[in-house]
């Protein structure tokens, strides 16, 4: 179970504050910056797309893979096509916001975090659901990998 009283991890909180500080149209520009900043996949995944899990709730082909290292730190890798910049932006927010967190911290991120960052009006509630699905998939993979010993 997640503890709803936990504060958000620093990076996710900072992203939230950055979006909320902007006017609606500028929030789209910031999302575009995130989109452009989505890291490329490391070769072990870009050379093996079969290892990636497709997120079917997203409106464009999105693939993700989660690693949990020996220190229980989570590493998230996501890819989405250039012609789907909104999805790339969502992925980038999560990849950057979850970077360096451990298993418990990732699992404690509220599922409605995507609703809280001021993008619902700028991109529409329907589109935000794609980001919630992505977060849900990441947390599920973390649970699976951590449950399997956490040393994958």
Residue of 78, 122, 142, 146 interacting with another protein (CB under 8 A)? 122
For another protein, which is the closer residue by CB, 41 or 131? Answer: 131
Task: Measure the CA–CA gap between 91 and 103, rounded to whole angstroms.
Answer: 18
Other residues' Cβ atoms within 10 Å of the Cβ of residue 144: 12
**Token pair recorded at residue 75:** 């590493």
Query: How many residues in the shown chain lie near another protein by CB under 8 A?
Result: 27
Query: Which element (helix H / strand E) includes 133?
Result: helix 125-147
Four-CA torsion 112, 16, 42, 88, nearest 10 degrees: 70
Q: Between the CA of residue 55 and those of 6, 70, 125, 135, what are the distances in Å?
A: 27, 26, 18, 10
Does 15 engage in binding with another protein (CB under 8 A)?
Answer: no
Under the binding rule (CB under 8 A), the answer on residue 87 touching another protein is yes
Query: CB 25 → another protein: shortest distance, Å?
Result: 10
> Binding of another protein at residue 130 (CB under 8 A)?
yes
Could you say which of 28, 99, 107, 115 contacts another protein (CB under 8 A)?
28
| Interface ranges with another protein (CB under 8 A) | 28-29, 31-32, 35, 56-61, 82-87, 89, 121-124, 126-127, 129-130, 133
């Amino acid at each position: 179970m997640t503890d709803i009283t936990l504060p958000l991890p620093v990076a996710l909180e900072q992203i939230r504050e950055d979006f909320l500080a902007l006017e609606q149209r500028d929030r789209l520009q910031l999302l575009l910056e995130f989109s452009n900043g989505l890291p490329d996949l490391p070769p072990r995944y870009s050379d093996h797309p079969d290892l990636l899990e497709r997120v079917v709730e997203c409106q464009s082909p999105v693939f993700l893979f989660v690693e949990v290292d020996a220190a229980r730190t989570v590493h998230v890798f996501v890819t989405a096509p250039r012609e789907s910049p909104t999805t790339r932006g969502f992925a980038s927010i999560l990849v950057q916001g979850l970077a360096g967190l451990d298993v418990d911290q990732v699992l404690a991120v509220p599922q409605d975090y995507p609703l809280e960052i001021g993008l619902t009006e700028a991109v529409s509630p329907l589109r935000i659901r794609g980001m919630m699905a992505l977060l849900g998939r990441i947390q599920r993979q973390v649970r699976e990998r951590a449950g399997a010993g956490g040393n994958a």
